[in-house]
Amino acid sequence: MPHVRRARDAAGLLFVILVLSSAVFLAQNKTVWSDQEKPIVEQLRGLRKLDDAVRARTTKELAIEIRQLPVVPNKLRLAEALAGLATEGDFGRDTLQEVTTTVAKALEEQPRAGKPGEPDSLYVELASLVRYEHMQATSDNPQFAEAMTQLEAADAARQKADFTLADLEGKTWHFADLRGKVVLVNFWATWCPPCRKEMPDLEALYEKYKDQGLVVLAVSDEEAAKVAPFIAERKIGYPVLLDPGRKVNDIFRVDGIPKSFVYDRQGKLVAQSIDMRTRNQFLGMLAQAGLQ
């Protein structure tokens, strides 16, 4: 789930999950939606069911609709939910820019209060869109600057990352031993719809480039009993590593899935995603590591 996304923290992730869980969200969270907001909520719930071209257009329209709403707390909630869904693939830079602008505007109208040294999740979302998706947005709120600083620190930690994990076959993989290879580390879970959606593209790219030195390491924090049949059913050939204690998730500072990180043959982190990627988007990431 996205976010599943996009620098998503637990609160942001929970909100998106609940937004997409129909009447349960309305009842359990006691959120009162205005007549103007209710159609937006319904469209958000159905966004994943749309064809990508329709989804792109609908996402862009929703961004503009949300931006035009009155300044009320629900506006921030809707902007956050849309941002979490807008990076699940490639729906066009114009669409994503509209979403980014909506998030920035909503925060400008109603700044959220974060904890000392811990910016609110929506400022992290905005910073992630700027840093990783190269969207245009600014904010004078100190939390935005704090979020950017945290993202820079996370990237520095990922550059130094090293780990050893076993795959479903019992083979041990030591990340530092893969120098000379192009390595794509993908964090995923069986329950995550965007993760499942990108897996066929990852498998196709692995088969295409493995003889050129591509290694895909898919890291799951679930138990083997759940992961193994899932992988067998989908005939996935790239290594699937188990991280039940989430130690490697923590090393990479993963707080939402799917997320992917590409390292070149010298071990340099050259590309990363904050959400699911399409085949073309993965190709662009691999190109930065020298695979064409």
Give 203-251 pLDDT, tens digit per residue. 999 999 999 999 999 999 999 999 999 999 999 999 999 999 999 999 9
CA distance linking residue 67 with residue 96, whole number of Å: 14
Give CA–CA dist 270/285, Å, rounded.
8
How far, CA to CA in Å, does 43 sit from each of 57, 78, 164, 270, 274? 12, 11, 43, 36, 23
pTM of the full structure? 0.86
Query: Alpha-carbon distance 191 to 237, whole Å?
Result: 19
> In this predicted model, what pLDDT tens digit does every residue of 177-198 receive, in sequence order?
999 999 999 999 999 999 999 9
What is the per-residue pLDDT for 29? 53
101 burial type by CB count under 10 A (0-12 exposed, 13-18 middle, 19+ buried): middle
Per-residue confidence (pLDDT) for residue 27, from 0 to 100: 41
Task: Judge whether residue 19 has pLDDT over 60.
Answer: no
Residue 2: pLDDT above 80? no
Give me the residue spans of the domains in the chain.
10-156, 164-287
User: What pLDDT band is residue 31 in, cutting at 50, 70 and 90?
Assistant: confident
User: Which amino acid does the sequence have at 284?
Assistant: G
Q: What per-residue confidence (pLDDT) applies to 22?
A: 36
Contacts of 20 (CB under 8 A, 6+ apart): 1, 44, 45, 48
Note the pLDDT tens digit of each residue in 69-93.
999 989 999 999 999 999 999 999 9
Cβ contacts of 31 within 8 Å, gap of 6 or more = 25, 74, 77
CB 1 within 8 A of CB 16: yes
Q: How confident is the model at residue 116 (pLDDT cuts 50, 70, 90)?
A: confident
In degrees to the nearest 10, what's the CA dihedral of 106, 107, 109, 115?
Answer: 140
Classify each residue of 153-173 as buried b or exposed e, where b means 16 or more C-beta atoms within 10 Å of its C-beta.
ebeeebeebebebebbeeeeb
What sign results for the dihedral spanned by CA atoms 240, 245, 248, 250? positive
Mean pLDDT for the stretch of residues 95-104: 98
Give, in degrees to the nearest 5, the angle at Cα 209 between 159 and 203.
Answer: 90
d(CA 50, CA 35): 23
33-69 pLDDT tens trace: 999 999 999 999 999 999 999 999 999 999 999 999 9
Both structure tokens of 108: 């400008």
Assigned CATH for 164-287: 3.40.30.10
Residue 174: which H helix or E strand, with range? strand 172-174
